[in-house]
């Protein structure tokens, strides 16, 4: 059994996809505009995200106090809702489909550490939330997880593995407890 020795930690292999100047500028903008919460308007936030390389669809709503690590590693579909204090810690690509809801305090974590190695190596894995997924308040999606279409991760639950489409998941680690049925309204003639 090896002891952890953080003096040997080395993540020089990792590249965040942008140089130090762009990352520094984003850090300031993220603090002043996104995490600080002074600017409640989504339209300017969306424009800024696009300037920094994010792909953002139509009708996206971003509430105050949202923290995004690297916008150039973020893709948002149409009509995505991002609630207060959501943290998108995207060391790897985060792809969010259309009509996805991230409730207050939800966390998308693409990075972790290998606790089985004395060097505590960084591990990253992309996250994908398919159309209609809902991540509940203070729920966590871990690195490499795919949340299938219309899946639900309940409040304060932790997704460590892929969620099936239409599955409702709860707990830590999250387990499927039910199947979601989505009511599709009949068009009025």
Residue 5 resides in a domain: no
What distance in Å separates the CA atoms of residue 54 and residue 93, rounded to the nearest whole number?
Answer: 10
The DSSP bridge partners found for residue 128 are: 95, 146
Number of domains comprising the chain: 1
Task: Give pTM, 2 decimals.
Answer: 0.94
Nearest 5°: the CA angle 83, 85, 91 is: 100
Residue 143 resides in a domain: yes
Domain limits for position 125 = 19-179
Residue 14 resides in a domain: no
Q: Which residue has the higher pLDDT, 79 or 4?
A: 79
Residue 59 resides in a domain: yes
Task: Specify whether the CB–CB gap between 31 and 50 falls below 8 A.
Answer: no
Any alpha helices (H) in 52-189, and if so which ranges?
none
**In the structure encoding, which two tokens stand for residue 1, read together?**
């059994």
- Location of structure tokens 């509940």: 136
Lowest-confidence segment of 17-31, 38-52, 94-108 by average pLDDT: 38-52
Name 182's Cβ contacts closer than 8 Å, sequence gap at least 6: 132, 150, 166
Q: Which of the residue ranges 4-13, 36-45, 55-64 has the most confident prediction, judged by mean pLDDT?
A: 55-64
3-state secondary structure of 23: helix
Residue 9 resides in a domain: no
Task: Specify whether the CB–CB gap between 138 and 169 falls below 8 A.
Answer: no
Residue 188 resides in a domain: no
Task: Specify whether the CB–CB gap between 66 and 86 falls below 8 A.
Answer: yes
What distance in Å separates the CA atoms of residue 186 and residue 189, rounded to the nearest whole number?
Answer: 9
Q: What is the pLDDT of residues 82-130, one digit of tens each?
A: 999 999 999 999 999 999 999 999 999 999 999 888 999 999 999 999 9
Residue 141 resides in a domain: yes
Name 15's Cβ contacts closer than 8 Å, sequence gap at least 6: none
Residue 174 resides in a domain: yes
Instruction: Write the CATH number for 42.
Output: 2.160.10.10
């Amino acid at each position: 059994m090896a002891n952890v020795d953080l003096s040997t930690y080395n993540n020089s292999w990792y590249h965040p996809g942008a140089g130090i100047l762009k990352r520094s500028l984003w850090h300031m903008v993220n603090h002043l505009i996104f995490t600080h919460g002074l600017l409640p308007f989504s339209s300017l936030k969306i424009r800024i995200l696009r300037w920094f390389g994010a792909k953002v669809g139509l009708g996206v709503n971003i509430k105050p106090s949202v923290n995004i690590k690297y916008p150039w590693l973020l893709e948002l579909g149409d009509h995505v809702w991002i609630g207060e204090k959501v943290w998108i810690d995207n060391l790897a690509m985060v792809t969010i489909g259309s009509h996805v809801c991230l409730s207050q305090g939800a966390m998308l974590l693409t990075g972790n550490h290998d606790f089985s190695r004395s060097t505590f190596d960084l591990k990253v894995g992309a996250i994908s939330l398919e159309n209609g997924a809902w991540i509940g308040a203070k729920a966590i999606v871990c690195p490499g997880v795919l949340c299938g279409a219309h899946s639900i991760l309940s409040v304060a639950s932790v997704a460590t593995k892929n969620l099936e489409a239409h599955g409702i998941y709860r707990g830590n680690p999250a387990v499927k407890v039910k199947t979601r049925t989505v009511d599709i309204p009949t068009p009025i003639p």
